[in-house]
Amino acid sequence: MVIHEIQSMLKEYFDVLQTQDLNKFDQVFHPGSVLYSAQDGQVTVRPFAEYRAMVQGRKSPQEGDFARLDEVLMIDVMSAEMAMVKVRLRLFDNIMVDYLNLMKVDGRWTVFAKLFHKVGVAVD
């Protein structure tokens, strides 16, 4: 049951990243969530509000007709309210790997923390 709930939430996560629907964005990401990355010596720490504004201000991958790649690589259920997942996806021309810390609050799974890393460039 928990795995199915998380898989359903991850489908919404992938859809949000492709469509950038802000109503769904607000359901997938907890308002207290933070995104983290370290790449090429640069550390990125992006709070929810900053990430939301960035998403709001750009054209979506769907609008740019970019191909999709949505893969769930791992789901680790810690408890009935906490889990960690690893996903790989295409975002624009980038192949990304994300680790998502999820918590179930008020009956809904949401992203509380996201570590993301660009692992390559998509080849069509």
Cα angle 47, 30, 9 (rounded to 5 degrees) comes to 125
Q: CA-to-CA distance for 30 and 32, rounded, in angstroms? A: 5
pLDDT in the model for residue 78: 97
Predicted local distance difference test score (pLDDT) of residue 68: 94
- The per-residue pLDDT for 18 is 96
For residue 1, the model assigns a pLDDT of 87
pLDDT at residue number 115: 98
pLDDT on residue 109: 98
Sheet with 94-105, edge to edge strand ranges: 42-47, 29-39, 108-121, 94-105, 82-91, 70-77
Per-residue pLDDT of the chain (124 residues; tens, 9 = 90+): 899 999 999 999 999 999 999 999 999 999 999 999 998 899 999 999 999 999 998 999 999 999 999 999 999 999 999 999 999 999 999 999 999 999 999 999 999 999 999 999 998 7
User: What local confidence, expressed as pLDDT, does residue 21 receive?
Assistant: 96
Whether residue 112 contacts residue 33, with contact meaning beta carbons closer than 8 Å, is answered with: yes
CA dihedral 9→12→14→15, nearest 10 degrees, is 170
Would you state the pLDDT for residue 123? 82
Secondary structure class of 30 (helix, strand, coil) = strand
**The predicted structure's pLDDT at residue 32:** 96
* Domains along the sequence of the chain with CATH: 2-121 (3.10.450.50)
Whole-number Å distance between alpha carbons of 112 and 32? 7
